[in-house]
Chain A
């Protein structure tokens, strides 16, 4: 993957609004944002109801994902272009999710909804209609999803990248600062994890920094480009943003997203936890 194949800009999207081979999908942390206005022709996926199992803490399974995309009118051979609010946090999460289930052609709109709004580009509240399809997903791609045991095994052995804010990393906050503070039983981070807040990869307007700038940021933070990498955050959405940067923009091999992230790790019994601004010992 590369920047050219994984990322499109707003001009490109405007030029392809009527292209039937493209499906625009908005995925927002604020699941009501779409209803207040969206890019013309875009459909919505709700990460809380469409993409999460409603009983277990896990994703919808392959059959449910197939039923979802068939119902929304997404075909296997279409190019899926994702965008969303909050600097594409949840759009990047959906991107990773589409890759997990093997969708071939997925792209992210650089800057997402914010850049589109700051450019004063057109939004509509008109709902598109799409013909139902018969979507076939692949089995989950285990090469991009990390589970807790491999995260514990990666301490001191692989790159662990904690992409939360410095205060969450150090244990001074448990959740992003625009959300009520809640979730994991313990604060802190996984020992040896480098703290590279996801936001370092983005400009103020939500677009990604250049490849050279990105490579420098992670190198400076101690990421060893010769090792495999696991990214995590609180619930796996911001780390999808970093996974996207490392795997899809910079083309790094063997990058996984740990979607259990701190809400799981910080509630596990018996695992090591580091507090404060230092990475800690293995």
Chain B
């Protein structure tokens, strides 16, 4: 993927210093899952956003500083929750294995 960073999706044109980014990759048995949905839940468990994963299993959120939960849904799988802490100017990387 052209311009890819560690997170897999390009950050070109995004002012990373101003954003609290959460991103990562969903895998199953080490293989990327391109058909998953990742939901971002806030500190109270309230839904905040959702993205489908890219063909390479990657996802990204522009969150705010604080504690978040990622809930990953995929065909024929139970939902998987992962806790993550976001901070402005930091890209939080999360590896989700389902």
Q: Which residues of A are at the interface with B, using a C-beta cutoff of 8 A?
A: 30, 33, 85-87, 114, 117-120, 165-167, 172-173, 175-181, 197, 199-200, 204-205
Query: From A87, which residue of chain B is reached at the shortest CB distance?
Result: B50
Measured in the bound complex, the distance between the Cα atoms of B35 and A120 in whole Å is 10
Measured in the bound complex, the distance between the Cα atoms of B79 and A86 in whole Å is 17
- From B48, B74, B75, B76, contact of A177 by CB (8 A): B48
Measured in the bound complex, the distance between the Cα atoms of B53 and A118 in whole Å is 13
Query: From B68, which residue of chain A is reached at the shortest CB distance?
Result: A177
- Given contact pairs A114-B52, A177-B64, A179-B62, a sample of 13 additional A-B residue pairs in the complex whose CB atoms are under 8 Å apart: A85-B52, A117-B75, A120-B75, A166-B42, A167-B64, A177-B49, A177-B62, A178-B50, A178-B60, A178-B62, A180-B14, A181-B62, A205-B73
Interface residues of B in 20-66 (CB under 8 A from A): 35, 37, 39-40, 42, 44, 46-52, 60-64
Whether the Cβ atoms of B52 and A166 lie closer than 8 Å is no
Query: From A172, which residue of chain B is reached at the shortest CB distance?
Result: B64
Residues on B with C-beta less than 8 A from A165 are 42, 46-49
Residues on A with C-beta less than 8 A from B39 are 204
Query: From A123, which residue of chain B is reached at the shortest CB distance?
Result: B35
- From B14, B18, B48, B71, contact of A167 by CB (8 A): B48
Measured in the bound complex, the distance between the Cα atoms of B70 and A40 in whole Å is 32
Shortest distance from the beta carbon of B68 to any chain A beta carbon, whole Å:
8
Query: From B38, which residue of chain A is reached at the shortest CB distance?
Result: A178
Measured in the bound complex, the distance between the Cα atoms of B37 and A199 in whole Å is 15
Q: Count the B residues whose beta carbon is within 8 Å of the partner chain — how many?
A: 27
- From B47, B52, B61, B64, contact of A197 by CB (8 A): B47
B93 near A: Cβ within 8 Å?
no
Measured in the bound complex, the distance between the Cα atoms of B37 and A95 in whole Å is 24
Shortest distance from the beta carbon of B43 to any chain A beta carbon, whole Å:
10
Measured in the bound complex, the distance between the Cα atoms of B46 and A166 in whole Å is 8
Whether the Cβ atoms of B40 and A177 lie closer than 8 Å is yes
Shortest distance from the beta carbon of A271 to any chain B beta carbon, whole Å:
25
Measured in the bound complex, the distance between the Cα atoms of B52 and A177 in whole Å is 14
Listed by A's residue number, 20 A-B pairs whose Cβ atoms lie within 8 Å are A30-B52, A117-B75, A118-B73, A119-B75, A165-B46, A165-B48, A166-B46, A167-B48, A176-B48, A176-B49, A177-B40, A177-B64, A178-B51, A178-B60, A178-B61, A181-B18, A181-B62, A199-B46, A200-B47, A205-B73
Given A118-B37, A167-B64, A172-B64, check contact A178 B73 (CB 8 Å). Answer: no
Given A114-B37, A177-B61, A177-B63, check contact A204 B49 (CB 8 Å). Answer: no
Shortest distance from the beta carbon of B17 to any chain A beta carbon, whole Å:
12
Whether the Cβ atoms of A173 and B51 lie closer than 8 Å is no
For the complex of A and B, the 10 pairs showing the least CB-CB separation, nearest first, are: A199-B47, A177-B49, A178-B49, A165-B48, A120-B75, A177-B63, A177-B61, A178-B51, A177-B48, A176-B49
Shortest distance from the beta carbon of B4 to any chain A beta carbon, whole Å:
18
Residues on B with C-beta less than 8 A from A200 are 47
Shortest distance from the beta carbon of A83 to any chain B beta carbon, whole Å:
14
Given A117-B35, A176-B49, A181-B18, check contact A167 B42 (CB 8 Å). Answer: yes
Shortest distance from the beta carbon of B35 to any chain A beta carbon, whole Å:
6
Residues on B with C-beta less than 8 A from A197 are 46-47
Measured in the bound complex, the distance between the Cα atoms of B74 and A114 in whole Å is 10
Measured in the bound complex, the distance between the Cα atoms of B35 and A179 in whole Å is 20
- From A87, A178, A180, contact of B40 by CB (8 A): A178
Residues on B with C-beta less than 8 A from A173 are 64
- From A166, A181, A204, contact of B73 by CB (8 A): A204
